[in-house]
Structure 1
Amino acid sequence: MDTKTSRIIRLPEVQRKTGLGRSSVYKYMKENGFPKSIVLGPRAIGWIESDIDRWISERVYTSAGQ
């Protein structure tokens, strides 16, 4: 497996990569418009970096009118 594919990132990095705030990330997740988080522990979650990168690419493609 590619190391980038398997890299787990936490919320602050998700926010930096996407430009979204915390509440927007959770709102889009609830609406099924954002990659789901994975449970890392009782009080910790993260996202698969490649899922976030794919989501960003889809937004760029959509906004370009493709």
Structure 2
Amino acid sequence: MTKLVQDAVQHQPTRLNRGMSDNDTLPVPQLGKALRILRMKQLVERTMLSRATLYVLMATDPTFPRKVKLTARAIGYVESEVDAWIAARAQ
């Protein structure tokens, strides 16, 4: 690419869809610390609930943290979302 084209591409805002104006850009999340992923065993220890109860909550509670697919056979949960869910249930 030429220098002019490279500069133009770098200064273009990222748009979500065609209906957005040129001033609308994607929000960039600011992460204060690294994300930590909890596996099922850690989730059981953190919540003090059984695996069976957690699976029921995953299926029925819309506020339960979403799972994150790590590999084809492994899932995890974002620690901050789990902590927020526990705090909300405690109130």
TM bin (shorter chain):
0.7 to 0.9
Structure-2 residue corresponding to 1:9: 38
Q: How is 1:1-66 mapped onto 2 (pairs within 5 angstroms)?
A: 1-3=31-33, 6-31=35-60, 32-61=62-91
TM-score by length of 1: 0.81
The one of the two structures with greater contact order (alpha-carbon pairs below 8 A, sep at least 6) is 1
**Is there any run of 5+ residues in structure 2 with no aligned partner, and where?**
1-30
State which structure, 1 or 2, has the greater radius of gyration over its C-alpha atoms: 2
Q: Letter of the 1:44 partner, please give it.
A: A
CA-based RMSD:
1.3
Q: Which has the higher helix share?
A: 1
* Identity percentage of aligned residues: 35
* Structure 1 unaligned residues grouped into runs of 5+: 62-66
User: How far apart in 1 are the matches of 2:59 and 2:48?
Assistant: 18
Structure-2-length-normalised TM-score: 0.61
Shift of 1:11: 0.6
Query: How many positions carry a matched residue from both structures?
Result: 60
Higher strand share: 1
